[in-house]
Homo-oligomer: A and B are copies of this chain.
Amino acid sequence: MLGRLYPGQDCSAARTLEVVGERWSLLIVRDAMFSGMTRFTEFQRSLGIAPNVLARRLDEFVAAGIFEPRSGRHGGHTEYLLTRKGRDLRPVVVALTRWGDRWAAPDGRPVTYVHEGCGGLVTLATACTRCGDLTPADGVGTRSARDAGPGGPA
């Protein structure tokens, strides 16, 4: 299991950080997701991290079902393919990127995300199922999804 647990937190964000919150983890996912990387050497070249750290992250991701290993066709090296569970992290990486584009990119955003089907730019938005798009000024709160049960507050 991963070292970064939040046992006291009944929270899906905390659960997700337990799986992808280690240093480098989300950058490995990023490289697989948007650059099509599958091989150990590709990730290592992109990230410049110690091989033992990368090996540990990939092993943890395989154990968590984020990547599945496939015996390699290219020179026999194992390939690591994102599963559906792994691909579902796309909004996380896009959300991180959007924030960095806005608040930590003094030279402008390094890359834009593009829909491969049509070349259109990819955006991310929070929306209200009743009102439509939300602005940052719109307040968002939480409601327990467990206590309400049938007949709970609408």
Contact = CB atoms under 8 A, between A and B. Distances in A.
Nearest to A10: B110
Interface string A105-131: 101111111111111111111111111
A142 B117 contact: no
A131 to B, nearest CB: 6
Given A23-B4, A114-B141, A100 B131 contact: no
B128 A126 contact: no
Contacts of A138: 115-117
Contact of A12 (B23, B98, B140): B98
Contacts of A123: 126-129
Contact of A154 (B116, B119, B142, B144): B119
A119 B131 CA distance: 10
10 contacts: A13-B96, A13-B97, A34-B141, A88-B136, A94-B95, A110-B146, A112-B145, A114-B141, A118-B131, A123-B129
